[in-house]
Amino acid sequence: MKKLIVLTALIAATCQANAQVSSSASQTTRLNLSDAIEITFTGTGNATGSDVNMNFSTVNDYANGVTSGDQEMVVRSNKNFSVSVKANSSQFTYTGSASPAPHMSVASVLNIKVSANGTGGSVRNPFSTTSFTNVNPGDRTIISNGTRGGNQTFSIKYMADPGFDFPAGTYTTDVVFTATQM
């Protein structure tokens, strides 16, 4: 009988050792999202693109104008968006030896067209994927109803056509693209 009591005590001790004991805790996790939008140039990875140098070195360049290569930008936004474009000034800034300095109007010389549109939005009139439109100092929408996402790209090309009316030198202006959530 002593063996039976010892065996019963051993079984009882084993059962208590295998009993599961637990405790739990919980925590509420909140994601506080804000509206977020960014436009960058893919070539530089930031909001300042590389300089676009358009060289006029032949008579043909002056007669027909010069077109740049594609300038690709990416918009990352958690809401649908539009993109506008403007020149930072109505006149090019002149650096050269002519005196007095010539006055070249940006709107009469510098044009752009959308060469690719992967934004999910549409190219807004008067801009187009087939013809060039002048750039002026007033904000004008170039892409409308772009779809939210992390890799919404579009590309533009510049075309400059100053004709034969201006002396040699460097003519500079900044073109500003602004992405705005809708």
For 86-113, what is each residue's pLDDT tens digit?
999 999 999 999 999 999 999 999 999 9
Instruction: Kindly report the CATH number assigned to the domain that includes residue 69.
Output: 2.60.40
* Residues facing residue 149 across a β-bridge: 77
116-157 residue pLDDT tens? 999 999 999 999 999 999 999 999 999 999 999 999 999 999
| Residue 8 resides in a domain | no
Q: What's the 3-state SS for 11-64?
A: HHHHHHHHCCCCCCCCCCCCCCCCCCEEEEECCCCCCCCCCCCCCCCCHHHHHH
**What pLDDT shows up at residue 1?**
54
Q: What CA–CA distance (Å, rounded) separates 54 from 178?
A: 23
Residue 140's nearest CA partner among 156, 163, 118 is 156
Structural Rg of the chain based on CA atoms: 32
| Residue 29 resides in a domain | no
60-82 residue pLDDT tens? 999 999 999 999 999 999 999 99
- Within 10 Å of residue 63's Cβ, how many Cβ atoms? 10
User: 10 is written with which tokens?
Assistant: 């051993």
13-51 residue pLDDT tens? 555 666 799 999 999 999 999 999 999 999 999 999 999
| Residue 3 resides in a domain | no
pTM: 0.84
| Residue 60 resides in a domain | yes
In total, how many domains does the chain have? 1
| Residue 57 resides in a domain | yes
**Domain coverage including residue 77:** 36-181
